[in-house]
């Protein structure tokens, strides 16, 4: 029997990419899933594609605290507990700082950082009460290194890394684990959030080159591994790159 079977898992940002792949992986492992994202049509299609899974969905924008809270409330009302929250939603518009793209900066802060904090805030009271839980966030190699054109994006991912380590230190006595999953280049739709055409095409092509970009299932497997470990084992970080990636 899988150690994931029967666990109550919330996945934010589940409608595509890593979130969708992780939903499918954990459904195979027998988790009780509550998934959320902004695109209802994609969520419904994903649920319909998993007829044998124990799965519910809700529409939510992670930058809106009350919508994230509603997702957590749905999971708790249905199952009476929450074992895992996976903060996966994120965007990656990239451009040099000199272009002063204030709206993009604000959007990244709201989704990449506040989205994670909104998830933590919503689920932490439940996990503290039950004296167990696991909070996972998608970070990035960009949370470990900085490169030109991505200073703000890297800044948001460095912030997630710091927040999740702070969470670990503050809540370890409550048996609450924290994990960041830091993928390198992955073949996802994340490049579509890049508004600058040349950068967008470059990222798309790099991710899709044979033998370079990680498969979505590679990252989903890493998430499943972190969840499957015993409660006495805290996997703080998983940094996962394609073998041929330089950065």
Q: Is 225 a catalytic residue?
A: no
Catalytic residue among 57, 86, 153, 191: 153
* β pairing state of 84-87 and 133-138: parallel
Both tokens assigned to 108: 């990244």
Question: Is the distance from CB of 88 to CB of 183 less than 8 angstroms?
Answer: no
Residues annotated as part of the active site:
153
């Amino acid at each position: 029997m899988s150690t994931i079977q029967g666990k109550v898992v919330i996945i934010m940002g589940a409608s595509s990419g890593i979130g969708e792949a992780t939903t499918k992986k954990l459904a195979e492992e027998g988790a009780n899933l509550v998934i959320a994202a902004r695109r209802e049509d994609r969520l419904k299609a994903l649920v319909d594609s998993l007829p044998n899974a124990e799965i519910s969905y809700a529409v939510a924008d992670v930058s809106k605290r009350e919508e994230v809270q509603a997702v957590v409330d749905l999971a708790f009302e249905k199952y009476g507990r929450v074992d895992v929250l996976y903060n996966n939603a994120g965007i990656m518009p990239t451009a040099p700082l000199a272009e002063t793209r204030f709206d993009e900066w604000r959007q990244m802060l709201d989704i990449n950082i506040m989205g994670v904090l909104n998830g933590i805030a919503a689920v932490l009271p439940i996990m503290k009460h039950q004296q167990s839980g696991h909070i996972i966030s998608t970070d990035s190699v960009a949370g470990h290194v900085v490169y030109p054109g991505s200073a703000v994006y890297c800044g948001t991912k460095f912030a997630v890394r710091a927040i999740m380590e702070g969470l670990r230190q503050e809540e370890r006595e409550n048996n609450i684990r924290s994990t960041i999953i830091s993928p390198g280049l992955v073949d996802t739709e994340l490049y579509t959030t890049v508004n600058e055409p040349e950068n967008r095409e470059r990222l798309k092509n790099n991710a899709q080159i044979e033998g370079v970009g990680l498969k979505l299932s590679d990252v989903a497997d890493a998430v499943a591994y972190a969840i499957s470990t015993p409660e006495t084992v805290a996997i703080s970080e998983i940094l996962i790159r394609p073998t041929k990636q330089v950065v």
